[in-house]
Structure 1
Amino acid sequence: MSFSSSAAPAATPLPFADLLVLELASVLAGPQVGQFFAELGATVLKVEAPAGDVTRTWKTRAEAANTDVSAYFSCANWGKHSVIVDLTTEAGKAQVQQLAVRADVVLASYKPGDAEKLGVDYDTLRALNPRLIYAHLTGYGPTVARAGYDAVLQAEAGFMFLNAQPGQEPQKMPVAMIDLLAAHQLKEGLLTALYHRCRTGEGSRVQVALLDSALASLANQAATWLVTGHDPQPMGSGHPSIVPYGTVYRAGNGRSLVLAVGADRQFRHLCQALNRPEWAQEARFQTNEARVANRAALETMLQTRIAEVDGDQLLAALEQLGVPAGAVRTVGEALALESGQAMLLPVGEADFQGLRTVAFQSSSWPRAAALASPPRLGQHTAGVIAEQE
């Protein structure tokens, strides 16, 4: 078996067509990075323990029991080769170390100290391949031997506290947001390391902690505490410093919608669309600062008025006027949109579509037309191991 990209061939090579990525990571953050490289042309070898990535078993009640490719597993593992290796054995260590000699990037997500025990730590592999770029994801940093789980990090980093209606219990976000934020941080680190290697010929170790990624993403909420000393409080989907922004309104035809009015001009146009132009002339609503101070009164007025109109007609009018607004859609509705369809990967051997992790496009290379379906456990073991012998 030759190491070749799982992306469809193209007249213009994809940017990572010559890279070999060795994925020792599991669950979501590391595998998301692996699929990112696969979508951009890299050959990604997913090294799994005999039991496989645990997400193969994370199934909803609607999924078939007779497959080891769950919906969760499929969200981050398109375009990869699955290789079973038992790193607790000397033979397994040797196999991975041999693969690392040829690899450009290693993705690892071990607790601190575990990679050393398994013989796949940075120092060991760098001695075999000085050009290797080694990416290590941890929960709390390289010195804290504590496993990182997204739900726990959402709680510990302040996200769950803020994600609630006032007076109600904190809520976890419905996707593993901290894992995804860490994956983006790791991509940035790896792209920087690849650039560094192009300039110097040297490999690097790139370390990303879920906690650091979460804290770095608190943005204006962290700045509020740092600047004012006041801890931001839960506001549901409302915005602490912009009104109206994020609140869900229910229109007369049952349509739920959201406004994102960040400028006074936009607010005037909103009032025009609602046939209430006089609101924009009231001193308490003329500026965003005034609207924040009079949030409760304005929100009550908007809730009442929007409940009297057709939501779809209102959204159309707001679009014409340049007022940011949108319907609250289900996941299925979002993916069914023309823009959503463009983010889907074609059906492969698995008979279902996948979701791209790469959302950008470039004039210098084509978008990968298709990727191999998420691999069955150990699907490529024989070929990859034979290649090593």
Structure 2
Amino acid sequence: MFDSLKVLELATVLAGPSVGQFFAELGASVIKVENLLTQGDVTRTWKVPGEATDDRSAYFTSVNWGKKSILVDLRQERGRIIVRELARQSDVVISSYKPGDDRKLGVDYESLRELNPRLIYGRITGYGPQDDRVGYDAVLQAEAGFMFMNGEVGGRSLKMPVALIDILAAHHLKEGLLLALLNLERTGTGHLVEVSLLDAALSSLANQGTNWLVGGKIPQKKGSAHPNIAPYGDVFTTLEGDEILLAVGTDRQFSSLCDVLNIPEIAADPRYQTNIERVHNRADLHITLSEAVRQQHTATLMTAMQAARIPAGIVQNLAQVFDMEAARRLILDSASLRGVKTYVGPTFTHPESFHLLPPPTAGQHTREILTQVLNYDVQTVAELLQAGAVR
């Protein structure tokens, strides 16, 4: 789809790099500029206890497939020149600098646009261009209300186990960049696309946001239960001890559930006949359903619910998740490294011979980029390496 697109990634951690991998998966050439002074993207060192990897940690590999890496010291003018020359040849730049830092380094949109008027510049910040606070996903989960709502009734506030705000912001940036590419095709002009973690978080509050804005109700902790629907998100335990989650969204589905559980009289109980009543009487309903599910074998119950078109699923760990056929189709595999695709839609003109590169080691392609992309001669490359401008 984007086999002629050139992307320059000046981003670290999760949000920006996942956008870079998105374009790489669609065939784009992606060059990842990494900070020589820190030995590359900080996530290269983010390892779980006992993780035996090189500088491509499990975290790093989650969003860095399909890229070539160059280590550059942007404190040196020669290093900044390299990045500017790469930007001159690029179609898209992705950055995640704290506001102001990009200008200090001369890699902000205004500076690079002078070199390349058609440039599309995607920028992720924590709180917007006027706020120089560093944005971290966990902090945004707290500040945007997600943590306050997340947790068991009466329990402590909890963050989600993935950096969901980063992921949401990345999707927003992808959308903006795709619109900018469409506009470039129509008008021939580049564009600055800015997304903040805070904006992405707030715009993703969805029904929980309108529960307050429209209903005047501040969402409280309900475990996995849905504030507006019951039994939706409720978890029950089967005879074997497996956890089953129900997502019953209609009165018909609830009636079918009661039939499957051999408690048809519950569907006729005035306390549970409509969703509004079920939400109001959620606690009593949960007790009744728990007793009924506890008498059921997992396999038999799931088969019956699927036949009756009742939305339900077994709570699975990640070993079980990636054993599913649907998950196996999304796994990226190269030697000892594995990852998951960030894009799951059609590739349209994706060439059959396309091969996605494995995540790079820090500076793995420095010489290749300098000689083949920027056409530097051997002596110039040697001087840059000697000066510590690159590695």
Q: Please say whether Structure 1 and Structure 2 have the same fold, judged by a TM-score greater than 0.5.
A: yes
Of 272, 276, 280, 1:285 maps to: 272
* Residue in 1 that maps onto 2:366: 381
Which residue among 19, 24, 37 is the counterpart of 2:5? 19
Tell me the residue number matched to 1:47: 33
Aligned equivalents of 2:355 and 2:30: distance in 1? 15
Q: CA deviation at 1:340?
A: 0.8
Cα distance, 1:376 vs. partner? 0.5
Are residue 300 (structure 1) and residue 287 (structure 2) matched?
Answer: yes
1:136 matched to 2:136: no
1:258-277 aligned within 5 A: 258-277=245-264
Deviations for 1:274-330, whole angstroms, at most 9, x for unmatched residues? 011111111111111111111111111011111111122111110011000000000
1:1-389 equivalences in 2 (<5 Å) = 15-50=1-36, 51-64=39-52, 67-346=54-333, 348-349=334-335, 351-361=336-346, 365=350, 370-387=355-372, 388=374, 389=376
Provide runs of 4+ in structure 1 moved above 2 Å.
361-370
Deviations 1:110-167, CA, capped at 9 Å, x for gaps: 0110000001000000000000000110000000010000110100101111111111
Q: How many residues align?
A: 372
* Aligned-partner Cα distance in 2 for 1:361–1:295: 42
Task: Report the Cα distance in structure 2 between the residues aligned to 1:232 and 1:117, rounded to whole angstroms.
Answer: 42
Alpha carbons 1:112, 1:142 under 8 Å: kept? yes
- Distance in structure 1 (CA, Å) of the matches to 2:32 and 2:350: 25
TM-superposed CA distance for 1:220, in Å, is 0.3
User: Gaps (5+ residues) in structure 1?
Assistant: 1-14
What is the aligned partner in structure 2 of residue 4 from structure 1? Answer: none
Secondary structure of 2:60's match? helix
For 1:102, the aligned partner's letter is Q
1:340 aligned counterpart, secondary structure? helix
Q: TM-score, with normalisation over the residues of structure 1?
A: 0.93
Does the CA-based 8 Å contact 1:361-1:367 persist in structure 2?
no
Kindly state the Cα deviation for residue 372 of structure 1 after the two structures are TM-superposed.
1.2
Q: Cα distance 1:69–1:132, how it changes in 2: closer, same or farther (>3 A)?
A: same
**Alpha-carbon distance between aligned partners in 1 of 2:292 and 2:196, rounded to the nearest angstrom:** 46
CA distance in 2, matches of 1:174, 1:237: 14
RMSD: 1.3
Distance 1:95 1:300 in 2: 65
**CA deviation after TM superposition for structure 1 residue 353, in Å:** 1.9
Please state how far the C-alpha of 1:370 moved relative to its aligned partner: 4.4
Decide whether aligned partners of structure 1 residues 169 and 368 sit closer, same or farther in structure 2, where only a CA change above 3 A counts. Answer: farther
1:368 CA displacement? 8.6
| TM-score, length of structure 2 as denominator length | 0.93
Deviation at 1:352, TM superposition (A): 2.5
